[in-house]
Every structure is written in C-alpha cells, then in structure tokens.
Structure 1
Amino acid sequence: MESLGHDSGGIELFPERGNDLQMEGDKNNKPDDTKLIRLAQVEKDTELEGILRKFPPPNYYLHAFYYIWFGNPKFDGKYVHWDHLQLPHWDSKVAQGYPQGRHIPPDDIGSNFYPSLGAYSSKDPSVLQAHMQQLRTAAIGVIAVSWYPPDSKDDNGEPLDDIVPLLLEVAHKYHIKVAFHIEPYKGRDEVNMYTNVKYIIDKYGEHPAFFKYQTNNGKLLPLFYVYDSYLMNSEQWAKLLKHTESGSIRDTPYDAIFIALLVEEKHKRDILTAGFDGLYTYFATNGFSYGSTQRNWASIKSFCEDNNLIFIPSVGPGYIDTSIRPWNFQNTRNRINGKYYETSLSAALETKPDFISITSFNEWHEGTQIETAIPKKGQVVYLDYLPNRPTIYLEITRKWAAIFGGERRKWQE
C-alpha cells in the first residue's frame, strides 16, 4: 500500500517517483510544474472515479460485439465505412431494380439509423470515451472487438489493429474488458490462426483490460470469438484446437477459449469434432439461421451441456440492413420500441447460458446497434428510437444485465 506523503504543495501518491520528478523540476528551476501535473492527474482520476460510481456494476458475462472500422476526414483523412457500398443482389435481374453505388457522408451514411455522435471515427479518443460511458450505462462488462490481422482489412475498410492500444487504454479506465472477435480475413487457416492468436496475446495479453476467463479447471484464459468459423473445415480446425495434434495451440502459452459461430444445425457436430470450446449464434434476426432461431436455443444448450461446450446465445434489438443491401427487406426485424430486444433477452436467459452476447453495440450497417441514435431530417430518411429516448436500448440492456446477474447467482447455489 502506498503511503501518503504531505508537503506544502498537496498530496503525493507515489513518494519515491515524486522525488525523482521533483529533482528533475529543480534542475529546470520549475519545481512546481511536476506537482501541478501530478495534482491535475489526481483530480482527473478522482473525477473519473466519481463518474464511475454513477454507473451500475459491469456484468462480465454480458458481451457486446464492437466495431472499430469507422473513419472520418478529421481523424482518417476520409470517411471510412460510413460511405459503404449499396451491395448488388447476386441475381443481376433482381439487382437492376435496386440502387447501387456508395453513400456520401456525413448526411448520407450506410445505415438506416443516424448516430448521436454523427459520422464518427473509431480513432477519436472522445468517441471511445463516450462509447465506454454508454457501455457502462448498459452494465456491459466486455466488448468483443472485430479484429483483422495488421496487414488485413475488410472489403469496405482500412486496417484496424493500430486502434487497439487506445481502445484498451480507454476501456481500462472504465473497468471494461476487451475480447477479440476474429473476422474471416483473407487466407485464414489453422497455421496463420496460431500466428495471429500468438500476436494478439504477445501484444495485448498483459494489458489489464484484456479479457480472461477462469475455466472449470482453474486456468485463466483469453476468449476468442471466431466469426464464420464454418468457412474452414473441422479437420483444419482440429490441427489447431485438438490436444492430440502436433501443431496444436493447446497447453501452450497461447491456449485460449475458442468460440465458433453456429449457423446451420450440422455445424454442431463440426464444432465438436473441430475441438472448439463453445459456440455463439451472432445474428440478431430470429429465424434467419438455425443458430439464431430462438426456439432452437434449448436444444442447442442441451447439446452444449452434453458435450461440455460453452453456449453463448446472441441477442439484438432488431435488424435492418437495407441501406447497404436494399433488396434484403425479408430479414428486417422491427424493434417494436424495445419489445423485440426484451423478448430476445428473455429467450436467452431461459436457456441458463454461460454468457450472453449482444449483436451489437455499433454495427450500424445492419441496424443492430444499441448505441444512441438521434432523429435526423434531410434528403435521406432515417429511422430513430422515438418516442423513446436515444438511450432506450442501453437502459433495456442494463435492466437485463441485473436480471442475468441475479439469475446466475441462483444457478450456482
């Protein structure tokens, strides 16, 4: 425990370090500069602690999918992702009936809703801070950040890995943990998956905001969500994930909890034979896939229990992606002023899941965001959260985070 040393200038939290700073100040004949800096930091930290006390406690079993692929001219030299393409339908005859081309931000963005923060950049520290405050308002403990290797990017974006250090720093201030949601980067296979997991753990694994989970056998391990895991066959995954394989990541310093995406029913067996530790369902559209159909969750959960797999159902507030897939209206799910979200959260809770994942905090293109949105008038017509407040989906999340926390304690008694 640090002792508090007093002098004429205020409180020194780290006396030894303070003396070094003081000596340096004396040399420059500016003895008060360092003291002022230190005092300012103490005040800043005290102010932050005051802010944090106003939030509900974070639930570390509630994970939100989080995207850092947004950019704007101020921070990135151009708009990134907000200018998303309107994707053509695969049938050229159908495609002719729908608009194509790019959106033109800031008034015309690739989303059916408009963010309170405008067409923001994921590199903007004030945006990250606002996001952490929203996440804490919602009592979310973990964000699963969409991740590509440093030399990769998605079709509409730029490389993202250089944003992660700042994200971890800001998340840590708000006591939020960061897990990684590994995207299907080009050429993904079992060999470069090992390399990339090693890269993430070597680079970020010691950061206090890096999410680790204590397994049943007492090991503290990172958790990775693997998006579109079915694109690789189970034999390939087994080389990485089975203890018996020579190139396995198991029982190495890079072992982790690997969560596969369940889309079709047959993927259950594949996930098991591949050596994954669990599964998640991602899609916020009830009925879109076998995995995202809520009436299937009870049987998926019992399959997981029988095979010692972690079950992580994914819930969302609604779905609409017609700003980027104008022809995809059949997958739209109306938010019904929060009823769709509450029904989904209730369905997830009924299965007594290990974790619940939220699709999403800010996937604006697919209209699954719980981030605050505002009404916007102009040439482009946007949906909004009226008659509710911009924070409605954060408030619903907070309510269910508390219910989930209470239920979890009961299940463990």
Structure 2
Amino acid sequence: MARLRRKACVALFLFTLFVFGTLMGLRTLKPSEGFSDLAPGLELMAGVGGKVDRRSASSGVAVSPGNTRVNAGDTKASLSNSGQDKGIFYDVHIFYYMWYGNPQLDGKYMHWDHVLVPHWDPKIAASYPTGRHTPPDDIGSSFYPELGPYSSREPEVLESHMEQIEAAGAGVVVVSWYPPGLSDDNGEPTEDIVPAILEAAHRHSLKVTFHLQPYRGRSDQSVHENIKYIIDRYGDHGAFYRFATNTGKVLPLFYIYDSYLTPPEAWSELLSSTGSHSLRGTPYDGVFVALIVEERHKHDILAGGFDGMYTYFASNGFSFGSSHQNWKAVKAFCDGNNLLFVPSVGPGYIDTSIRPWNNHNTRNRVNGRYYETALQAALNVRPELVSITSFNEWHEGTQIERATPKKTVTRLYLDYQPHAPELYLELTRRWAEQFSKEKEQWLM
C-alpha cells in the first residue's frame, strides 16, 4: 500500500511539473499582467542606452482607393502603401539600428560591449552583476549574429543586411536616427552612415525612413530643425520613403520615439495647421507617427496633431500599446479620429544580457510561433501598415537578422535551431504576402 502511495505521489509530481512547463510555454503567446512594475524605468529604457531600455514617391507607392480617411484640404494622412515591387511590400516597415562598431573599422567595439543596466531600485540592483560585456566572445545579446560583432559602417555588412531585408519582403527600412553629433549613451554619432544605407537600400529596391530618437534637449522646435535637415539632405534620394495620400499628396513619414516625453501642447505648435512653427502645408510637411505606451497617450497623440501611432515594443503585455488584446480598441480610436494605426510585431523578446533583472518581460520565440501569433494579431485589426521590431536590435533579442549557434567557456547563446538562420526572414515574407492578399480583400 505504501509503495502504491509513493507511485501515486511520483505520478502526481510529474503531472504537476508537466502542467507547469506547459503553462510557462503558453505564457509567451499571450499578454502578461502589463508593465506597471516596469513603468518607473521607462525613461531609463528609452533607446537601449536611453531606451527601456523610394525610388521616388511617384513610382514607389500605390494608393488604395478603399482608404478615404483624409479630409479635403487636410494634410493629415490616412495612407496606404500597398504597392509592391519584385515581391517587396512597402506597407511592411522594419526598425533598423546602425549603432554597432568594432575595432577594425571604428577603433573600438560599440554597443556589442553594452553596459549592464542597473535596476532603478538600489536594493534590487545590488542582487545583479554590473560592468559591461567584452566582445567578441561576450556581447550584449542573448543571441549571436551570423556576421559576428560587426560594424554598421562596413559596406559588406550593409549589403548583407539589405539582402536579408529584401529576402524578407519588408519594403521600408526605419533607421534609428540621432541628429549630427549626437548619439545614445552607449555609442558614437552615426548620422554620417545614412547615405551609405540609402545607397545600399536603393540597390535592393528598398525605401528608407527615419525613427527619431530622444536626445538631450529634444523639443518640438528642435524636431522642426531635424525634419528640415533630413528632407533637405535626403529628400531627393531615390530610396527616400514617401507615402501617397488619397488626396494626391506625397509626404515623408517619420516615427517619433518616446513622443510622450514632450507635452501635446508643444507638439501642437509643430503639427497643427495653426501652430506657431507648423510644418503643415510647408515643403517639410509629413506624416508623423507617435509612440503609444499608456492608454492615455492616444488622447495626447490626437491633441498633439500627430497623424498616427505605433506600438514598437515586441513584448506582448509589456505596455498597453504593445498588448495585442488592446489593438482592436486602439484601431477603432484611430479610425474614429482620422489617424493611422501601425501595430509593431516582433519574433520574441529577451534583454537580460543588458538588463539581467528584467526576466519577467522575456517572451520565448517558441520556434517562430510567438512571431506568427503577433503577426496574426496585427492582421486581425486590418492596419494600413505593419512595423517589425526589429531587424537587428540584438540587445533586446527582437532581431530577425540571421543568428548562429555559439558556445564559449562562459556563455551559451540562444539560436534559431532546429530551424535555419533564415527562419524569421522566411516567416516575415510569408506573412507579408498574406498581408498583401488580405488587404486586397479588405479593399474590394
């Protein structure tokens, strides 16, 4: 009898263990309780090291007649970008980082040697390691790039990146951008790399647009100067991305990261037609897309005069905006207020290589299932655009760039096995094609 009880206990224990493991796996496929316990660190995590933690317009874009959001005379653009070329989909945007460096081209490692970001609570911080990574074997990522710890300035790297993005079918490269002479806390200025990115993108029929990052002293007035600089310097390039509106206007599109750090009243001076230094109706007008993190931000975005909102974060449940379950309501708000909604999807999330205390926001890739779940959630709300976080944000483990298995004496990196390094490029192309097909049905 005692033996039977022991067997029953062992069986019960094993069953409990199986159920627990299954639940932990499923956790990666649905929203968590949210990001309230992470909120105090949002400003610290703005941009890694600051972040929580066209061909020409006339030929590169197609207007879909079914979208009629733009009012007559209104420069607010409800835009469609469903035109495609050689299997490239210009309504699929992908966030791109050009802040990496190595000794061969830059004299030192940049970003691969990322600092271990301390928790904002000293008591919690004391329980975790400090210092920084020591490449090439120890880098600030849980995955290891197939190209190794590369420099963003290397022509062969840029060519490989654009080849991979073209293979994935994503048509618009969204470059993380700081003004000349400025950078995030962990790197050096990179604005001078933009011309090379434009040239490489152009060779692959890709377009380039800009993801304006927060920097010390950023304001509505400084952003006015940033927009003028970008359009004056790059606006005539064949790879410079523009949207065609259904009013016949063709306008550049800009993503504004951490837009909530500037009050809506200030943004309104820049983005409303009556603002003191308005861009509206000028040669520097555009489509300006703000970041929605908290629910209240949707009202601030509307009041600030923005044309739309995007969600950025690849960790489902991390913020209100990044929670798939909220996208239907956000899209309805945007539809009712003549705004563009751009959900951001990612293949997973893990940033514990640079924030070792942030394990609760990790989202397991589940061999691509997490990515497919996110992509389906985006398609379900019928957006005009989808953005991908990211091509190569290695610190946060959101990259779809090719990764390679690697093991050192002290580290075992994650990888895409049992699948090939191209897994996430292939998944992206499959879903971009599906997005295009579904969009044709929506507009019939």
Measured against the shorter chain, the TM-score band is 0.7 to 0.9
Q: How many residues in Structure 1 have an aligned counterpart in Structure 2?
A: 359
Counterpart among 412, 416, 422 of residue 381 in structure 1: 412
**Structure 2: any 5+ residue segments left out of the alignment?**
1-84
Q: Does 1:175 align with 2:175?
A: no
**Structure 1: any 5+ residue segments left out of the alignment?**
1-54
* Amino acid aligned to 1:273: A
Aligned-partner Cα distance in 1 for 2:242–2:168: 21
Aligned-partner Cα distance in 2 for 1:389–1:83: 27
Counterpart among 376, 385, 392 of residue 423 in structure 2: 392
Divergent runs of 4+, >6 A: none
Counterpart among 189, 198, 201 of residue 219 in structure 2: 189
Residues 315 and 345, structure 1, Cα contact 8 Å, conserved in 2: yes
**Higher RCO (C-alpha under 8 Å, 6+ residues apart):** 2
* Amino acid aligned to 1:237: W
Give the corresponding residue for 1:307. 337
Aligned-partner Cα distance in 1 for 2:169–2:222: 35
Q: Does 1:114 align with 2:176?
A: no
Counterpart among 48, 62, 68 of residue 98 in structure 2: 68
Shift of 1:410: 1.5
Give the corresponding residue for 1:336. 366
Q: Does 1:290 align with 2:320?
A: yes
Q: Does 1:132 align with 2:132?
A: no
Aligned-partner Cα distance in 2 for 1:108–1:212: 40
Q: Does 1:141 align with 2:174?
A: no
Aligned-partner Cα distance in 1 for 2:210–2:139: 26
Aligned-partner Cα distance in 2 for 1:251–1:184: 25
Deviations 1:323-349 (A, max 9, x none): 000000000000000000000000000
Residues 56 and 137, structure 1, Cα contact 8 Å, conserved in 2: no
Shift of 1:216: 2.5
**Sequence identity (%):** 61
Counterpart among 381, 399, 404 of residue 351 in structure 1: 381
Mapping of 1:320-335 within 5 angstroms? 320-335=350-365
Aligned-partner Cα distance in 2 for 1:98–1:392: 33
Aligned-partner Cα distance in 1 for 2:216–2:436: 38
Deviations 1:263-318 (A, max 9, x none): 00000100000000000000001100000000100010010000010010000000
* Amino acid aligned to 1:105: P
Aligned-partner Cα distance in 2 for 1:165–1:81: 21
* Amino acid aligned to 1:412: L
Aligned-partner Cα distance in 1 for 2:275–2:126: 50
Give the corresponding residue for 1:408. 439
Aligned-partner Cα distance in 2 for 1:280–1:360: 14
Aligned-partner Cα distance in 2 for 1:292–1:108: 30
Q: 1:392 to 1:298 in 2, by over 3 A?
A: same
**Aligned CA-pair RMSD:** 0.9
* Amino acid aligned to 1:390: P
* Amino acid aligned to 2:256: V
Q: Secondary structure at the match of 1:86?
A: coil
Residues 59 and 139, structure 1, Cα contact 8 Å, conserved in 2: yes
Shift of 1:380: 1.6
Shift of 1:412: 1.6
* Amino acid aligned to 2:205: H
Aligned-partner Cα distance in 2 for 1:286–1:307: 25
Residues 345 and 400, structure 1, Cα contact 8 Å, conserved in 2: yes
Aligned-partner Cα distance in 2 for 1:229–1:303: 18
Shift of 1:159: 0.4
Residues 56 and 136, structure 1, Cα contact 8 Å, conserved in 2: no
* Amino acid aligned to 2:163: Q
Q: Secondary structure at the match of 2:180?
A: coil
Deviations 1:103-123 (A, max 9, x none): 000100000000000000000
Q: Does 1:243 align with 2:237?
A: no
Q: Secondary structure at the match of 1:338?
A: helix
Mapping of 1:145-224 within 5 angstroms? 145-224=175-254
Q: Secondary structure at the match of 1:372?
A: coil
* Amino acid aligned to 2:171: G
Shift of 1:56: 5.6
Shift of 1:244: 1.1
Larger Rg: 1
How does the TM-score come out when normalised to structure 1?
0.86
Q: Secondary structure at the match of 1:102?
A: coil
Aligned-partner Cα distance in 2 for 1:314–1:100: 31
Q: 1:112 to 1:205 in 2, by over 3 A?
A: same
Aligned-partner Cα distance in 2 for 1:211–1:281: 20
